Amino acid sequence: MRPLKWEPWFNPEAEKTTALAWIYFPALSPNFFVKESLFTMEKEVGNPLHVDMATKKKSRPSSAKVKVEVDILRDFPKRNNVGIKKANSGEIIST
């Protein structure tokens, strides 16, 4: 079984190449727990849909989760490096 995004014109006979998946960010710095930041990072994997409730409420500070719609036929990145850009110099600091 593969979870799919609901569509009113769903045809169970047609094979889909997309699926829904939860992407997990372990040890993410709390300043990245904003929906816009998480969605920007998720665009590398697929189409971000929403964050889970614990991430939204910041009740699980050790990690964040985002639900994305992914094309299962494409190659996925193994790692997504995140950095902070300094306002005064433009230098990017890796976190």
Query: What does the block give as tokens for 63?
Result: 């990690």
pLDDT tens for each residue of 11-52: 777 777 888 889 888 888 777 888 888 888 888 888 999 999
- Say how far apart CA 38 and CA 51 lie, in whole Å: 8
pLDDT in tens, 38-90: 888 888 888 999 999 998 888 988 889 999 998 888 887 777 666 677 778 77
Asked if residue 7 is part of any domain, the answer here is no
Q: Using alpha carbons only, how large is the chain's radius of gyration in Å?
A: 16
Number of domains the chain contains: 1
Domain of residue 38: give its range: 18-73+81-94
Q: Which two three-digit tokens encode residue 38?
A: 């998480």
- For residue 47, what is the enclosing H or E element? strand 47-51
Domain assignment present for 11:
no
Report the distance separating Cα 74 and Cα 57, nearest Å.
Answer: 32
